Amino acid sequence: MRKRNVLGIGVTSTDYDEVTDHVIAAARARQPLAVSALAVHGVMTGVLDPSHRRRLNALDVVLPDGQPVRWALNLLFGDGLSDRVAGPVMMLKVCQACAREGLPVALYGSTTEVLAELDANLRVLCPGLRIAAAIPSQFRRVTEAEQACLAEQITRSEAALVFVGLGCPRQEVWLFENRHKLQMPMLAVGAAFDFHARRLTRPPRWVQDAGLEWSFRLLQEPRRLWRRYLLLNPLYLMLLAAQKLHLHRPGLEAEAPVPPFEGYA
């Protein structure tokens, strides 16, 4: 699976079918695989933080979640991708494949209430899906020992893969720290937990296709998201134009070392 340099972040040029097949193959083989779906905000967390950039570039697959990230792949490299790979859609496709294959999944992140609603809805959307564990976030920094216990709990559940919904960038930090501890695919899917739990509503398809989903989310959560979208989106477009014009030549490796254990959970 090809990785492309988008502002110094290695973004995987792929589609839903390819990444689903890749994840299921790793789940069957009990092989580790760190997958994250990044929209503009996720990419920019790495652009602005050299240490986090190295974390992102250490992940196996970074999906172009968000039309502007797909546009970047097509603009800079002529990849001709016809659609993005959105975290919520990818999660559903992988769950449906797991149901067909008899592969149990684990859920990690969000609250107990959201996980209960997510569990119930996934069982309806993906008949036959087995959910081996549903572990809420602790919403605090945890110790290295607590992090190890969490990894052991997921392993003991006998899940074939785990979906992680801690929010960006905490979930990518968690993937980076656990990518050698769990012998299974780990998929960071952002707000997918809230969407499939029906806590958040997705916009109409034409809004998504136009790359305007950010404006819909901004209207839903203005206090939390205004800085993310109104400041980072214009900066992303400026840097993308500079890379296209060869005025900005980012490398794929960060200069700063990755900090030690962060303990997000």
For 233, other C-beta atoms within 10 Å of its C-beta total 19
Task: Estimate the crossing angle of helix 213-220 against helix 222-244, to 10 degrees.
Answer: 160
Beta strands in the chain (DSSP E): 3-6, 9-12, 33-38, 61-64, 105-109, 131-135, 161-165, 185-188
Give residue limits of the domains in the chain.
3-137+158-200+215-244
Please tell me the distance from the alpha carbon of residue 167 to that of residue 193, in angstroms, as a whole number: 10
List the one residue out of 73, 55, 53 whose CA is nearest residue 12.
73
Output the pLDDT for position 203. Answer: 67
* CB within 8 Å of 231: residues ≥ 6 apart: none
**Assessment of whether the complete model's pTM goes beyond 0.85:** yes
Residues 33, 11, 195, 121, CA torsion sign: negative
Output the pLDDT for position 121. Answer: 97
Task: Return the half-sphere exposure (C-beta side, CA atoms, 13 A cut-off) of residue 41.
Answer: 19
Please tell me the distance from the alpha carbon of residue 98 to that of residue 101, in angstroms, as a whole number: 5
Please tell me the distance from the alpha carbon of residue 207 to that of residue 229, in angstroms, as a whole number: 16
Q: Output the DSSP codes for 212-228.
A: -HHHHHHHHSHHHHHHH
Q: Which residues of the chain have pLDDT under 50?
A: none
Give φ, ψ of 230 to 5 degrees: -80, -20
